[in-house]
């Protein structure tokens, strides 16, 4: 069992590019097979929140950095924080 983390992010104002990458983002998070994974977009689609378990903050950051939104440079701001539920 790992530590729970929250990955909170805000998107850049690039709606067309974001629409193209959404399927890759969803596929990445659904296929990563993380314990206690949960997540989704903000209602206004300005960003999102994903929670999951990882061994430590370094592993959690590595997981978040592989998000297609990050690799495609579509994130304005992001945070990965240990989360006490």
pLDDT tier at 85 (50, 70, 90 boundaries)?
Answer: confident
Residues paired with 8 in a beta bridge: 49, 79
State the residue for tokens 């990050």.
Answer: 70
> What is the pLDDT averaged over residues 42-65?
96
Domain 3-80 matching CATH 3.40.1710.10: the answer reads: no
Residue 67 has pLDDT above 80, yes or no: yes
State the residue for tokens 């945070």.
Answer: 79
Note the pLDDT tens digit of each residue in 7-29: 999 999 999 999 999 999 999 99
Residue pair 25/76 in contact (Cβ under 8 Å)? The answer is no
Domain ranges of the chain: 3-80
pLDDT tier at 2 (50, 70, 90 boundaries)?
Answer: confident
Sheet holding 38-41, edge to edge: 38-41, 47-54, 3-11, 75-82
Q: Angle at CA 37, nearest 5°, toward 32 and 41?
A: 100
Rounded Cα distance between 7 and 79, Å, is 6
């Amino acid at each position: 069992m790992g530590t729970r983390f929250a990955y909170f992010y805000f998107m850049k104002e690039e709606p067309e590019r974001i629409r193209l990458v959404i399927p890759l983002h969803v596929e990445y998070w659904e296929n990563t097979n993380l314990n206690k994974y949960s997540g989704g977009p903000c209602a206004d689609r300005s960003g999102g929140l994903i929670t999951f378990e990882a061994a430590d903050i370094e592993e959690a950051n590595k997981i978040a950095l592989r998000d297609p939104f990050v690799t495609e440079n579509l994130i304005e701001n992001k945070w990965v924080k240990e989360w006490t539920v």
